[in-house]
Structure 1
Amino acid sequence: MMSQFMARMTWIAVALAFILFVTQPIGLKLHFAFSIVALGLMILVSVLKLTGLFRHIFLALGSVIVVRYVYWRVTETVPSPSQPADFLPGVLLLIAELYCISMLALGLFVNAQPITRGRAPQQPDDELPTVDVFLPSYNEERDLVASTLAAIKGLDYPAEKLRVYLLDDGGTDEKVYSIDPSAAAAARQRRASMQQLCADLDVTYLTRERNLHAKAGNLNNGLAHSDGELVVVFDADHVPARDFLRETVGFFAGDRRLFLVQTPHFFINADPLERNLQTFKSMPSENEMFYGAIQKGLDSWNAAFFCGSAAVLRREALDEVGGFAGVTITEDCESALELHSRGWKSLYVEKPLIAGLQPETFESFIGQRSRWCRGMLQIFMLKNPLFKRGLSLPQKLCYASSNLFWLFPLSRLIFMISPLFFIVFNLEIYNASPQEFVAYTLTYIVAVMLIQNYLYGRLRWPWVSELYEYIQSVYLSGAIFSVLANPRAPKFNVTQKGNSLSDDGLSPLAWPFYAIFGILAAATAFTAWRYFEEPASRNLLLVVGIWNLFNTILAGLALGVVSERRERRKIQRLSANRSGELLVEGLRLPVQVLDASIGGLKVRLAGAQAQHLSPGRHRATIRVAGVRSKTVLQAQVAIATAVAGEGGRILGLSFVDSAPERYRLVADVAYADLTAVRDMRASRHVRRNLIAASVGTVLWGAREMLRGLYFLLFRRTSPVAPAPLAPPAPVDPVHTDEAVMPSVRPARKGLARLPKATGLGDIPRPTTA
């Protein structure tokens, strides 16, 4: 106890000394000289890639510059309350700045000592725990669900200890018996199709009476009908690698209080920004900063949280809190918060072990982010982690950081409009001379950029965060106010995936971005006019004009994001390197499989025998040796394309039926080994020079602005077409739902049993024995 007391007193003394130092009035020139020296040392540490003690020196120097800026900003730059026209927007801007600085401070705390985990301890098969795998589904295409289920069935784990459940919320009684005849017919067809699929793949099919509590309720229905020691959750479009369980389950044996092992979400398709700006192959994806750095930092404080998929959870822990939490629409983070507050532990493994899909259109992207935003703010308002009993102080700060991050749309829009107060209305909302701006504001901005690039530069390029925040802010601001008005109002909306853009065109959500760009561009022109007409205001106009010009460049880049390019590849493919053979017209032709997808394969044939094969004329059987020994996978295919290629003739093969063998082959060839996926992810982790990145962003913005204006004039429509997946497998019309439904085990003792569909009452959630 005495040692803890002394440690706390030491930290308090250090903090007081730090505050005393940064608040000393040392004069403008001396502050500027100190800032230049500090920035120089930070650049030296960054360029030389120094770590260890130098990491702390780097962050300390940056923190001094930031805190001195905050002190100066609060004490000397706020307009007088006697001038309300200046004071009110000036305070609004100050609040936005303080919010960003607070989030920077929380981010530095979270990432102070990130953890990189080694491989999970490996156990003999007879000592492994039983595992139930849940695949919650709602409206996903049958082929997508089938491929994921086939990959789960192919996991490297003892078959007698692994049970797979499809949790189908698209075929509930509520939907099957809907008063809308067309909706009811679609639900019946989906239920029958999914039941048949489960029977073909030896998977347990589960549905429920009503769609209550969305995904959390669906998962709790799975808990009520299963009894494995561990529970794994995969989204329907998150296909696991064969070694997923071998890389995660072993951690649970070493810690009886471990409730969660979370792995990163890796996506094989581009999000709308990456596709429309053509950056997917070169630039780190948006989520890689979270999964590559922030979750590792959270892990060091025992605060890594459940992300809804690609995770393993301990059933005992879930039983203790009554199952997955469903008060908010982000059941994953909420569930982790409840378990952390009860003393359970979590762990994060950075290795990508699943291949998933992102929203394809800007509209669906915004819908997904709106749900995340509303859900995380719900957690903060309804279960405020800062006052949550059972959490340690670091855990409180970590959860607060994750929740409050989603207020960024408000600050981002304030930064976007603030220059206009001076440019258009001549309001002075930021009292500072050009010299003070350079000495304090400019050095602060450079320090923050250096900190971000030092901590996250491999995972997030300069100015990209600002772009992602801006394109979301326009629509997420409304989501924030809706939660603030009624925290319990938000409802869970499923993210639409599997759609593709059939042609170039503007997003239906594009118009506000063109309006904002027009206003900012006009303000830029007005600034230039004032600069020449008002010599006395030139110094301030130059500073504010540069700020507005940056906003205009960002808005121009956003025009490129909402000017959507058609998706040339309707179905995502993964590279492969597997040997096989093609059986066609009595011949056995050796082939090399080059890539695979839900829709088909690309293979290379060598030799003269392949020359007579042509598209549309031949059907064949493709056979590939499975990852598991002594297994051969095969499927019926048609030759869709044939071209000459290096090393032989390249054939595009399309699957011709929905037999279960097809999905097993795709899962084995495309997803069993994700080494190529991990290599591609690592190849994008390249840090960019701040100056080169800034110049590149300006040129990038100009190019995308012109493309956006072209789309506005000539390509206003953006038709969306469903991905061309194979139709559902036929179902015998004389079979009832029960006839094709695999047997379902009764609810485990101690868990609430599902009631019959007799009314509008809530379905009970699982309770502990």
Structure 2
Amino acid sequence: MFDIFMRTTWIFSAVSFVFFVTQPIGTKLHFFFSIISIGLMIVISWLRLGGVFRHIFLALGSIIVIRYLYWRIAETIPDPSQIADFIPGMLLLVADLFCITMLALGLFVNAQPITRPAAPQLREEDLPSVDVFVPSYNEERDLVATTLAAAKALDYPQHKLKVFLLDDGGTDEKFYSFDDAVSLTARARRADLQQLCAELGVTYLTRERNVHAKAGNLNNGLAHSAGDLVVVFDADHVPAREFLRETVGHFATEPKLFLVQTPHFFINADPLERNLQTFKAMPSENEMFYGAIQKGLDSWNAAFFCGSAAVLRRAALDEVGGFAGVTITEDCESALELHSRGWKSLYVDKPLIAGLQPETFESFIGQRSRWCRGMLQIFMLKNPLFNKGLSLPQRLCYTSSNLFWLFPLSRLIFMISPLFFILFNLQIYNASPQSFVAYTLTYIVAVILIQHYLYGSLRWPWISELYEYIQSVYLLRAVMSVIANPRAPKFNVTQKGNSLAEDELSPLAWPFYAIFAFLLATFVYTAYRYAMEPAARDLLIVIGAWNVFNTVMAGLALGVVSERRERRKIQRLDVSRRGSLLIGDQEVPIIVKDASVGGLKAEIAGGDGRQFGQLVMPGRHQATIRIDSRAGAPLSAEVAITSATSVDDRRSLGLRFLGNNCDRYRIIADIAYGDLSAMRALRASRQNRQGLLVGTARTLVWAAREALRGLFFLLFRRNVRANATGQQAVLPPPGIRSPEALPQTGLASEPAPAVVRPAVAPPASGRSARVPDVSLADFAPGTRA
């Protein structure tokens, strides 16, 4: 009875609110009311007031938005009899309605975000068993090995922890392929990773066929494991040692909890951050999602699985037949299935993994295209609005997450709309300059203030617009392909680790130059019309400003697609760990200052190191580095001293790992990833608010600078990845090592034998199966099919 009363009250309040704000009060009175409301919003935002003031702020902004919407529909639509005006006018209205709908859903999702308390700490005998899945496809060996070593070193009773490498790059389908290159690569990869897993104490699993992509790979892991909980880490997501201690305890307090999701934190810059050089100062793009939106979703029991850095309950997965694989975003789809069955989720806002983002603009667009297709697939094939198992808030939350990916349509409509008036004098927006200022301009200001209030420390002004623009040009095709055939999209693995050795123009750059040139030419034509048509000057100022904004975004985009080289192919992480170098019978105390899988930078502790004389000269000696592990037992590995320099009475050493055993991965996992407090401090330091005026001025300066840099790249960096003959270079797939490079397998010193076909065709079924160790030597030469 109480629920019915509360629902009735909310409905009555909403109807009354809408009735009030849609009353005709005249343009001047509306403008006066909007200015007062905006002033109050600015004060609340500037003072960073929360609690009841948060609701007052959002209510004031909502009133301005709803009054704009009412005016927009009632007074600005072109005459339907004027088809040339009406059709583009309706397209613009649809784009407007989409943005207002997404704003309303966003305000609902983020109305009252929550921050979860720390997980309860359980006694060892009460801890559930945990299976860690690391799905892999084509990642580099060093990347996979570091993640596996960190997973093995998790702070958890070892008899209750089992780590699995789920290798989809060495399946039977690839192993027995009739394509020689595919077969040889798969055989080399399988032998290499099997040896790696044996050394690390990890279980290696592959399967017969690459069916259902990542979902199928994870389900194969479920079929060959039995832990109470399942943890998923992408191959490039290295977990902190305390990951399980910060998450597992939540499952003991809620029997219907199926998911604990943690944020994805990245140690490298995405293409926008690298090319605009903002990585160390500006909040990363994903901070708005993981720092605010997921917390808002969590308040409605709608935080969803993000594919990695998460813990899931096996019993819940068993109830729905494992990870869902109908769409190419198995993570969100699986969460939707489980939420509709009454299971609950929880979000812990603490970075507990360190991952990698796509390094190039091309791979960035490939990743976002997959996300876009998958989320729209979910909406079209499993529409959450009509899912009776979900609560109304959950339906709205999933709808918000799915429909967001239609932004390419609205973004491109907003880009071309000013051109209809500037170039063809079409009246697609019936409004006087006075009405435009009173309604449209105040609406835009209110929306900007709302975004800044909710996400100011997580997203700088105009950065969302830039990210959406650079994606829209290519994601439009992805959107249309799903609309045409929702079942057509296929899973594509995001390429990572393919950093650029030289500055270059992205292969995807050309549309952005064409758009920028066209918008710039339109700006010149607008100035010409302004000079020649005095009667149209008021509208030309308004619409010309709109076109200038689009040109600014286009200029910034030229900087994004003008790609700077990556100075380090291997990411180095700042650390501070004491250890020692054993050189012969002498021990040199050191402090490790940074680390990567290739080597370390260290300082001699307790002085300038003169007492060690020639002992630490580069090229003279090999040494053994020893580090006290966080788990207790010391870790050691063989290194060579590659450099020795003195700065400010401190002796710094460059150390390179020798050999190819797994000791290096255990050391890197322990000293670089065992404690992510330094990375969390970096994340916190970047979460700084920038004022709207300062942010706008900065954006204008960036646009001018990046447009010039983009033109320089167009003139002098046009030979994109070309070889000496001028043809496009063919690069090997990242992460696959040739048989000659395999360590200690008997293949390193022998020529690669011919690819051998089995006498019997590989299994035709799609069932999961654990594949036995197989090497090329198991097949007799001379039996080539």
- 1:55–1:652 CA distance, 2 compared to 1 (3 A): same
Q: Residue in 2 aligned with 1:751?
A: none
Q: Residue in 2 aligned with 1:381?
A: 380
Question: Pairwise mapping of residues 504-583 of structure 1 onto structure 2 (< 5 A)?
Answer: 504-583=503-582
- Among candidates 708, 711, 716, match of residue 710 of structure 2: 708
> Distance in 2 between the 1:433 and 1:214 partners?
54
- Among candidates 616, 630, 634, match of residue 627 of structure 1: 630
Q: Residue in 1 aligned with 2:641?
A: 639
Question: Pairwise mapping of residues 153-302 of structure 1 onto structure 2 (< 5 A)?
Answer: 153-302=152-301
Residues 392-449 of structure 1: per-residue CA shift (max 9 Å, x gap): 0000000000000000011111111111111111111111111111111111000000
Tell me, yes or no, if structure 1 residue 729 matches structure 2 residue 743. Answer: yes
Displacement of 1:5 after TM fit?
Answer: 1.6
Displacement of 1:763 after TM fit?
Answer: 2.9
Tell me, yes or no, if structure 1 residue 762 matches structure 2 residue 756. Answer: no
> Distance in 2 between the 1:26 and 1:264 partners?
47
Q: Residue in 2 aligned with 1:608?
A: 610
Q: Residue in 2 aligned with 1:65?
A: 64
Contact between 2:150 and 2:239, CA under 8 Å: does it hold in 1? yes
Q: Residue in 1 aligned with 2:502?
A: 503
Contact between 2:139 and 2:736, CA under 8 Å: does it hold in 1? no
> Distance in 2 between the 1:627 and 1:716 partners?
49
What 5-or-longer segments of structure 1 have no aligned partner?
735-755
What 5-or-longer segments of structure 2 have no aligned partner?
722-728, 749-759, 771-785
Contact between 2:223 and 2:768, CA under 8 Å: does it hold in 1? no
Q: Which moved more, 1:326-335 or 1:631-640?
A: 631-640
Contact between 1:276 and 1:565, CA under 8 Å: does it hold in 2? yes
> Distance in 2 between the 1:729 and 1:411 partners?
53
Residues 252-284 of structure 1: per-residue CA shift (max 9 Å, x gap): 001110000000000000000000000000000
Question: Pairwise mapping of residues 444-459 of structure 1 onto structure 2 (< 5 A)?
Answer: 444-459=443-458
Aligned length: 743
Q: State the AA in 2 paired with 1:638.
A: A
> Distance in 2 between the 1:559 and 1:244 partners?
40
Tell me, yes or no, if structure 1 residue 141 matches structure 2 residue 140. Answer: yes
Q: Residue in 2 aligned with 1:115?
A: 114
Q: State the AA in 2 paired with 1:584.
A: I
Contact between 1:501 and 1:718, CA under 8 Å: does it hold in 2? no
> Distance in 2 between the 1:661 and 1:652 partners?
18
Displacement of 1:641 after TM fit?
Answer: 2.7
Q: Residue in 2 aligned with 1:745?
A: none
> Distance in 1 between the 2:702 and 2:133 partners?
43
Tell me, yes or no, if structure 1 residue 466 matches structure 2 residue 465. Answer: yes
Contact between 1:507 and 1:563, CA under 8 Å: does it hold in 2? yes
Q: State the AA in 1 paired with 2:707.
A: M
Displacement of 1:653 after TM fit?
Answer: 1.2
Q: Residue in 1 aligned with 2:98?
A: 99
> Distance in 2 between the 1:214 and 1:409 partners?
26
> Distance in 2 between the 1:288 and 1:5 partners?
38
What secondary structure, in the 3-state scheme, does the structure 1 residue paired with 2:255 have? coil
Contact between 2:138 and 2:735, CA under 8 Å: does it hold in 1? no
> Distance in 2 between the 1:47 and 1:435 partners?
28
- Among candidates 696, 699, 705, match of residue 698 of structure 2: 696
Displacement of 1:725 after TM fit?
Answer: 11
Contact between 2:185 and 2:736, CA under 8 Å: does it hold in 1? no
Q: Which moved more, 1:506-515 or 1:572-581?
A: 572-581
Q: State the AA in 2 paired with 1:709.
A: L
Q: Which moved more, 1:639-648 or 1:584-593?
A: 639-648
Q: State the AA in 2 paired with 1:487.
A: P
Contact between 1:193 and 1:730, CA under 8 Å: does it hold in 2? no
Q: State the AA in 1 paired with 2:518.
A: I
Q: State the AA in 1 paired with 2:74.
A: T
Q: Which moved more, 1:602-611 or 1:671-680?
A: 602-611
Contact between 1:642 and 1:651, CA under 8 Å: does it hold in 2? yes
Contact between 1:368 and 1:495, CA under 8 Å: does it hold in 2? yes
Contact between 1:136 and 1:168, CA under 8 Å: does it hold in 2? yes
- 1:616–1:712 CA distance, 2 compared to 1 (3 A): farther
Q: Residue in 1 aligned with 2:345?
A: 346
Displacement of 1:728 after TM fit?
Answer: 4.1
> Distance in 2 between the 1:611 and 1:412 partners?
64
Contact between 1:318 and 1:324, CA under 8 Å: does it hold in 2? yes
Q: Residue in 1 aligned with 2:330?
A: 331
- Among candidates 681, 684, 687, match of residue 686 of structure 2: 684
Residues 191-217 of structure 1: per-residue CA shift (max 9 Å, x gap): 000000010001111000000000000
Q: State the AA in 2 paired with 1:490.
A: P
Q: Which moved more, 1:45-54 or 1:631-640?
A: 631-640
Displacement of 1:765 after TM fit?
Answer: 11
Residues 728-751 of structure 1: per-residue CA shift (max 9 Å, x gap): 4231359xxxxxxxxxxxxxxxxx
Contact between 1:564 and 1:718, CA under 8 Å: does it hold in 2? no
Contact between 2:207 and 2:769, CA under 8 Å: does it hold in 1? no
> Distance in 2 between the 1:483 and 1:325 partners?
18
Tell me, yes or no, if structure 1 residue 33 matches structure 2 residue 32. Answer: yes
Q: Residue in 2 aligned with 1:743?
A: none
> Distance in 1 between the 2:237 and 2:431 partners?
52
Q: Residue in 1 aligned with 2:595?
A: 596
Q: Which moved more, 1:80-89 or 1:578-587?
A: 578-587
Contact between 1:611 and 1:649, CA under 8 Å: does it hold in 2? no
Contact between 2:64 and 2:446, CA under 8 Å: does it hold in 1? yes
Q: Which moved more, 1:424-433 or 1:515-524?
A: 424-433
> Distance in 1 between the 2:562 and 2:508 partners?
10
What secondary structure, in the 3-state scheme, does the structure 2 residue paired with 1:499 have? coil
Q: State the AA in 2 paired with 1:712.
A: L
Contact between 2:206 and 2:769, CA under 8 Å: does it hold in 1? no
> Distance in 1 between the 2:209 and 2:622 partners?
44
- Between the aligned residues of both structures, percent identity stands at 71
> Distance in 2 between the 1:757 and 1:213 partners?
21
> Distance in 2 between the 1:508 and 1:477 partners?
18
Contact between 1:570 and 1:724, CA under 8 Å: does it hold in 2? no
Displacement of 1:6 after TM fit?
Answer: 1.4
> Distance in 2 between the 1:717 and 1:610 partners?
50
> Distance in 2 between the 1:232 and 1:211 partners?
21
Residues 601-642 of structure 1: per-residue CA shift (max 9 Å, x gap): 11012320455334444322111111123x111111122233
Q: Residue in 1 aligned with 2:658?
A: 656
Displacement of 1:363 after TM fit?
Answer: 0.3
- 1:764–1:730 CA distance, 2 compared to 1 (3 A): closer
Residues 581-611 of structure 1: per-residue CA shift (max 9 Å, x gap): 1123543111100011111111012320455
Contact between 2:140 and 2:735, CA under 8 Å: does it hold in 1? no
> Distance in 1 between the 2:531 and 2:9 partners?
57
Q: Residue in 2 aligned with 1:747?
A: none
Q: State the AA in 2 paired with 1:529.
A: Y
Q: Residue in 2 aligned with 1:752?
A: none
> Distance in 2 between the 1:156 and 1:177 partners?
39
Q: State the AA in 2 paired with 1:173.
A: D
Contact between 2:624 and 2:638, CA under 8 Å: does it hold in 1? yes
Contact between 2:208 and 2:768, CA under 8 Å: does it hold in 1? no
> Distance in 1 between the 2:746 and 2:61 partners?
69
Contact between 1:86 and 1:429, CA under 8 Å: does it hold in 2? yes
Q: CA RMSD in A?
A: 1.7
Residues 684-723 of structure 1: per-residue CA shift (max 9 Å, x gap): 0111111111111111101100000010011113439888
> Distance in 2 between the 1:140 and 1:112 partners?
40
- 1:431–1:655 CA distance, 2 compared to 1 (3 A): same
Q: Residue in 2 aligned with 1:476?
A: 475
Q: State the AA in 2 paired with 1:80.
A: D
Q: Residue in 2 aligned with 1:741?
A: none
- 1:610–1:365 CA distance, 2 compared to 1 (3 A): farther
